[in-house]
Amino acid sequence: MEPRLANTWRLTVNEKKFIETALQSDLRIDGRRPFEYRKISIKFGREDGSTEVQLGQTHVMGFVTAQLVQPYKDRPNEGTLSIFTEFSPMADPSFEPGRPGEAAVELGRVIDRGLRESRAVDMESLCIISGKSVWSVRVDLHILDNGGNLIDGANIAALAALLTFRRPECSLGGEDGQEVIVHPPEVREPLPLIIHHLPIAVTFAFFGNETSVVIDPTHYEEAVMGGRMTATLNANNDICAIQKAGGEGVLQSVIMQCLRIAGQRAHDITTKIKNAVESYNTERALRKIKRHSNSVSLDISGADVDVVKNQNRSFDQKGVSERSKLIPGKSIADQSMDIEGETKSSKQGQTNRIEGDAKSFIGGPSSWDPYAGGVNLDLLKASLASRGTSTPSRKEIYSRGENMSCEAKPVEPPKDNSLASSPIEAAKTPLGTNGEKTLKDAVKSKNKRKKKASSAGGS
């Protein structure tokens, strides 16, 4: 694919002069001081080992996967680590798909050197059978948005992904103990990688006039700069790697000053990464705990109902659009699965009505709307009447838990009062009116937002 000249973004002469002149007075165009980093935000995805890092306007995604392979002949006891960087064409109009350019190769090499040579990731723990079977860890870094300083952003993404990655546990089996049995995550908890230290890359940009140095250049500054240096070091002030590939000549004293500053920044960034990973791990642990306690609360009693309610409330306190909100709803839906088999039998009979109400569920940060279609109340009451009391009571508990977290709606308070007053083996009619909400709540799947939507729409 031939590069199209019109696509390369070029800085105008005026902009260049402006940036250089501003730097002479220690002013940067985004208002930062010369040795100030941009805001770093680290988010984690659904699976273990997937992260999204934002360094100012730079967006990088990292994914870690692992598979069993044969080790290299000269290192039979060690696993392998490989880093693949993708400069996605969405990051910059000048990035072309296909073979990686020099910048992509350099970025990959710098991060690789930082992780491998400094022995940050423990390779020997990845060995299962010496000489035959080791884990090969693969890190994929996707650059989504080039806001400058891709090396640092990609490095943080790689570290965060490696810290949250979990590899399946495996054991030796078979006749002579030579077979490797990989246990799926449901059977045995997957294990994290052993990471000894975190090598953080800190990039400096040098500008010709008066040897001005800035840290963490934006893409405007990168277009103007005369030279660049990346220092990879860890929180113990050990230098893992330094990369200065050509560019402007720089005084030794300036280099030493940069390294000192890099040490402080590396310390800050390490703390940030560790905090983010810790909160992810707590959330992950909470997810597991939540599922177990719900199965306990199926023994119906007033105390247990309160337990479910409180747990739902505490989850709600976590923030509106986090995925963690969906998870308590999901675990509830898992258990009410068999109930739904019965409800669906009555609902399937009315295919026309269901088609008309093809339900779409709106969740997520950008939009939330009450559920547009309505649910046929008569049908629900009829379906409830055909079932026993035990099943609605389970849903009643869940719906109480859900409804506690709903925004106050006018219809709900009277229903909640009746729920509170009626015992579990209550008469069918009050359960029928409450059941209209419980049935809808059970029928809708994981998202609590959807249950809110359904109760708003139906009532």
Partner 1 sequence: MEIDRVDGRTANQLRPLACSRNILNRAHGSASWSQGDTKVLAAVYGPKVGTKKNENPEKACIEVIWKPKTGQIGKPEKEYEMIVKRTLQSICVLTINPNTTTSVIVQVVNDDGSLLPCAINAACAALVDAGIPLKHLAVAICCCLADSGCVLLDPTKLEEQKTKAFAYLVFPNLTLSILPEGSLKVEGEPVEQAIITSVTQGAMSVDDYLHCLERGRAASAKMSAFLRRSLPPQNPSDSSRAG
Binding site for partner 1 (CB under 8 A): 1, 4, 6-7, 45-47, 50, 57, 59, 61, 63, 65, 84, 86, 88-93, 97, 138, 140, 142, 144-147, 219, 326, 330, 333-334, 336-337, 340-342, 344-345, 347-348, 354-367, 369, 372-373, 442-447, 449-450
Question: Got the DSSP string for 383-434?
Answer: HHHTS-SHHHHHHHHHHHHHHHHSPP-TTHHHHHHHHHHS-TT--HHHHHHH
Give SS3 for 220. Answer: helix
Provide the terminal-to-terminal Cα distance of the chain, rounded to the nearest Å.
58
Give 252's Cβ-side CA count (13 Å radius).
0
| C-alpha closest to that of 324 among 293, 297, 363, 359 | 363
CB of 251 to partner 1, least distance (A): 34
Task: Please name which of 95, 75, 78 lies closest in space to residue 86, comparing C-alpha atoms.
Answer: 95
- Report the nearest approach of partner 1 to the CB of residue 147 (Å): 6
**Running DSSP on this structure, what letter comes out for residue 186?**
T
Complex with partner 1: residue 348 or 421, whichever CB lies closer? 348
Minimum distance of partner 1 from residue 420's CB (angstroms)? 26
Shortest reach from residue 369's CB to partner 1, in Å:
6
d(CA 399, CA 364): 21
d(CA 220, CA 28): 10
d(CA 260, CA 265): 9
Min dist. Cβ of residue 270 to partner 1 (A): 26
How near is the Cβ of 95 to partner 1 at its closest, in Å?
Answer: 9
Please identify, using beta-carbon distances, which residue of 142 and 167 lies nearer to partner 1: 142
Contact of 398 with 442, CB cutoff 8 Å: yes
**Least gap, CB of 368 to partner 1 (angstroms):** 10
Closer to partner 1 by Cβ: residue 190 or 363: 363
Q: Which is nearer to partner 1, 91 or 269 (CB)?
A: 91
Indicate if the alpha-carbon torsion angle 293, 294, 297, 303 is positive or negative: positive
Q: What is the dihedral of CA 29, 30, 32, 38, to 10 degrees?
A: -140
Nearest-approach distance from CB 387 to partner 1, in angstroms? 13
Nearer to partner 1, 88 or 418 (CB): 88
Between 97 and 247, CB nearer to partner 1: 97
Q: Are 389 and 431 in contact (CB under 8 A)?
A: yes
In three-state secondary structure terms, 88 is: coil
Q: Cα–Cα distances in Å, from 212 out to 18, 35, 128, 149, 234?
A: 14, 11, 51, 17, 25
Q: Which is nearer to partner 1, 21 or 67 (CB)?
A: 67
* CB of 227 vs partner 1, minimal distance in Å: 24
Q: Provide the residue count of the chain.
A: 459
Q: Which is nearer to partner 1, 63 or 206 (CB)?
A: 63
In terms of CB distance, is 187 or 251 closer to partner 1? 187
Dist CA 138 CA 318 (whole Å): 32
CB of 343 to partner 1, least distance (A): 9
| Of residues 237, 224, 328, the one with CA closest to residue 286 | 328
Q: What is the CA radius of gyration of the chain?
A: 28
Provide the token pair at 143: 């650059």
* Distance of closest approach, residue 217 Cβ to partner 1, in angstroms: 15
87 vs 206, which CB is nearer to partner 1?
87
- Tell me the C-alpha to C-alpha distance, in Å, between residue 35 and each of 41, 186, 284: 19, 47, 35
- Measured from the CB atom, is 25 or 348 closer to partner 1? 348
